[in-house]
């Protein structure tokens, strides 16, 4: 009789434990579903208010939880491609096929309209910058001339696309150089990605095994030092969150920002935001990205 009571007690205890686990699991699943629905509603409201089309993908490294809105739709990358270009160059450095200290020479004829750093380094019509300096200029100041000079070691847009394919990105494509890749013509798939594809590539580049630890750290530091994103995603993120990003803008209302950010000292959050088609002024499109940043920070703030 005592043994029977023990068995019954064990069964009852196991049933209670299973019921509790199912309750917690179901509640957690409902919470995640609710978060996704709420997120999509908030982003959709931004589209309704300001026009255009928004694509957003967010991934939390600590939980693996991902939010997305139009995550598989194509958007022109504009200058966010420079993040991928930098990664491709750094992969060459890791493979001993390139050196950060190699000096690249250029002249006035190479300068594009937007070239704040490469123009500053001209002396009597000639300029010299190391690969490292060009990478910093392209990532921190979005210098278009620096980006075009960096296409040479990776064998141009096709070489960069091949690099993307090498670690599984079958969506992102780079077809042209600056400034032509910013045309953002509706329906034109040249120089485009999807928010989900960019997010996955960011994960592999910044947190995976595409680059060495030294190269990942350097790339992240350049993004943390970016000077072009203060009024975009960063503006909606708490000031105590470290944020590294790469922005981009182009014709037909293109306004983009990809970022890595840390709500706490541990695992980061990765974000890819692409916005196109809005007729609003530049400052208003910045405000839209700020609002996306605020929505993300509210969703992922540590409790």
How many Å apart are CA 38 and CA 77, to the nearest integer?
27
DSSP state of 130: E
CA distance to 9, 19, 20, 21, per residue, from 13 (Å):
6, 10, 11, 12
Strand partners, 233: none
Question: For residue 246, what are its two tokens?
Answer: 């790469």
Asked if residues 173 and 192 have their Cβ atoms less than 8 Å apart, the reply is yes
Of the residues 14, 62, 79, 107, which is catalytic?
A: 79
How many Å apart are CA 65 and CA 59, to the nearest integer?
6
Tell me the three state secondary structure of residue 97.
Answer: coil
How many Å apart are CA 275 and CA 245, to the nearest integer?
16
Percentages of the chain per state (helix, strand, coil), in multiples of 5: 50, 15, 30
Alpha-carbon dihedral sign for residues 228, 230, 231, 233:
positive
275-295 as b/e: b if 16+ CB within 10 A? bbebebeeeebbbbbbbbbbb
Please name which of 23, 186, 164, 183 lies closest in space to residue 83, comparing C-alpha atoms: 164
CA distance to 25, 185, 192, per residue, from 81 (Å):
39, 17, 9
Q: CA neighbours within 13 Å on the CB side: how many for 42?
A: 19
How many Å apart are CA 39 and CA 56, to the nearest integer?
10
Query: Is 79 annotated as catalytic?
Result: yes
Asked if residues 82 and 139 have their Cβ atoms less than 8 Å apart, the reply is yes
| Residues that are catalytic | 79
């Amino acid at each position: 009789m005592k043994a029977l009571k023990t068995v019954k007690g064990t069964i009852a205890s196991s049933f209670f434990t299973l019921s509790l686990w199912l309750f917690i699991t179901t509640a957690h699943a409902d919470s995640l579903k609710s978060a996704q629905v709420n997120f999509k509603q908030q982003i959709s409201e931004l589209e309704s208010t300001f026009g255009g089309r928004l694509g957003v993908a967010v991934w939390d490294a600590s939980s693996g939880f991902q939010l997305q809105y139009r995550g598989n739709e194509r958007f022109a990358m504009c200058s966010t491609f420079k993040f991928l270009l930098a990664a491709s160059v750094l992969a060459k450095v890791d493979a001993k096929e390139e050196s950060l200290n190699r000096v690249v020479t250029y002249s006035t004829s190479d300068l594009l309209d937007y070239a704040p750093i490469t123009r500053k380094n001209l002396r009597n019509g000639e300029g010299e910058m190391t690969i490292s300096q060009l990478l910093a200029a392209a990532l921190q100041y979005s210098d278009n001339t620096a980006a075009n000079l960096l296409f040479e070691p990776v064998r141009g847009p096709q070489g960069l696309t091949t690099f993307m394919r090498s670690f599984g990105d079958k969506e992102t494509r780079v077809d042209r150089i600056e400034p032509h890749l910013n045309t953002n013509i509706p329906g034109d798939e040249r120089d485009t990605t999807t928010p989900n594809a960019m997010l996955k590539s960011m994960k592999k580049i910044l947190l995976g095994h595409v680059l060495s630890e030294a190269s990942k750290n350097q790339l992240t530091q350049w993004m943390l030092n970016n000077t072009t994103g203060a009024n975009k995603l960063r503006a909606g993120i708490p000031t105590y969150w470290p944020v590294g990003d790469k922005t981009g803008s182009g014709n037909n209302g293109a306004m983009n920002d990809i970022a890595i950010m840390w709500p706490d000292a541990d695992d980061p959050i990765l974000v890819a935001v692409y916005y196109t088609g809005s007729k609003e002024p530049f400052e208003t499109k910045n405000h839209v990205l700020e609002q996306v940043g605020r929505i993300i920070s509210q969703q992922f703030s540590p409790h």
